[in-house]
Chain A
Amino acid sequence: MLMEAIGFYAMAMFLVFFAFKTISDPNPIHCALYLSLTMIGLAGVFYQLDAQFIAGVQMIVYAGAVMVLFVMVLMLFDLKTELRAFSRGLLSGFLKIFSAAILAGFALGAATNSIGIVDEQPPKVMSANITRDLSILLYTKYLYAFEALGILLLVVAVGAVAVSRIKGGSHARD
């Protein structure tokens, strides 16, 4: 029980620290790398919530594919390091305070709703192999979402290739 709590808080602090570094670092490639570490931390949190398959998939797809794309593209563009990480100005200051207030509201709501969440609870009746249950659910109850996702991925593929061939671009088809 204590191990669970320590593990959760350690993972959560790791995650929040790297998420904060993502937005506060002026060098874009550093930001992308911190985001990768955040994704890995997120996979760890999923694992602790007994969603082991999702943790593995999160690492394969997010940390191993999406973030590699980000880092690759950022390295292709020779972006200069920004002079400052945060912008200045009246409107931008207002937006910052507004979003900080909303975040504080979320945090307070989450904290109030989770009083007693780490107390001793009757052990949930969890099946032996949660991955198997997830798979069965995916192909029976959520079949429509699954098929729709396939078609959505096809649309993204066509769209990505089409965008790369916009008229006037370097790969435009004549």
Chain B
Amino acid sequence: MSQLVPVIVLSIFVVIFGIIIELVALLCSTAGKKSATKLESYECGLPSDTSGTTRIPIKFYLTAILFILFDIEIIFMYPWALTYGDFISSGLGLYILGSMGFFLLVFIFGLFWEVKSKALEWE
């Protein structure tokens, strides 16, 4: 807890700093004329043609899901890296190598399958 207080204080300070800067900009800004064109979204100067629904590329969803899975697998490698030296020096080196080796085999197979099945092709 004692180490969390500086983190919280610093985040609150950064947020207040950002808000103050934006307020200063709001106060110092030179006001132009409000016109409908200025408030529209920018699309290279052409009038916007926002039709209803556009096709949603599913690649974003697949990228994010695969990212979650591989992130979890990488998270499991962190405690392994932390205690690798301890395991080796107490004679269990082959055991820890084997157990993580099996996990890595599954990971590599997953990555290999995902690349081979062209799940993440970006045009």
- Chains A and B in contact, CB within 8 Å: yes
| Complex contact A138–B79 (CB within 8 A) | yes
Interface digits, B47-77 against A, CB 8 Å rule (1 contact, 0 not)?
0000001011110111011111101110110
B83 lies within 8 A of A135 (CB): yes
Question: Is A60 an interface residue, CB under 8 A from the partner?
Answer: yes
A150-B106, A161-B119 known; A69 vs B79 contact (CB < 8 Å): no
Knowing A48-B4, A132-B82, A132-B83 touch, does A61 contact B53 (C-beta < 8 A)?
Answer: no
| Given A72-B64, A73-B60; A146-B103 close (CB under 8 Å) | yes
CB atoms of A78 and B53 under 8 A apart = yes
Among B8, B55, B83, B99, the residue within 8 A (CB) of A146 is B99
Interface residue B113 (Cβ < 8 Å from any Cβ of A):
yes
Q: Counting CB contacts under 8 A, is B102 at the interface?
A: yes
- B residues near A167, Cβ cutoff 8 Å: none
A44: which B residues are within 8 A, CB to CB? 4, 8
Contact call B5/A139, Cβ cutoff below 8 A: no
Residues of chain A contacted by B5 (CB below 8 angstroms): 7
How many residues of A are counted as interface, with CB atoms below 8 angstroms from the partner's CB atoms?
A: 43
**Contacting residue for A147 out of B53, B103, B109, CB 8 A:** B103
List, in ascending order, chain A residues with CB within 8 A of B9's CB. Answer: none
As a 0/1 sequence over residues 68 to 93 of chain A, the CB contacts with chain B under 8 angstroms (1 = contact) are: 11001100111000000000000000
B residues within 8 A CB of A7?
1, 4-5
B: interface residue count bin: 35 or more
- A170 contacts B58, C-beta separation under 8 Å: yes
Contacts of A66 in B (CB 8 A): 68
Contact A147 B99 (CB under 8 A): yes
Q: Which residues of A contact B67 (CB under 8 A)?
A: 65, 69
Cross-interface CB contact of B1 among A4, A77, A136, cutoff 8 Å: A4
Other than the given A47-B4, A154-B109, A157-B65, 12 more pairs (CB < 8 A) read A7-B4, A48-B4, A61-B68, A77-B56, A131-B79, A132-B83, A139-B87, A139-B100, A146-B99, A146-B103, A153-B73, A164-B119
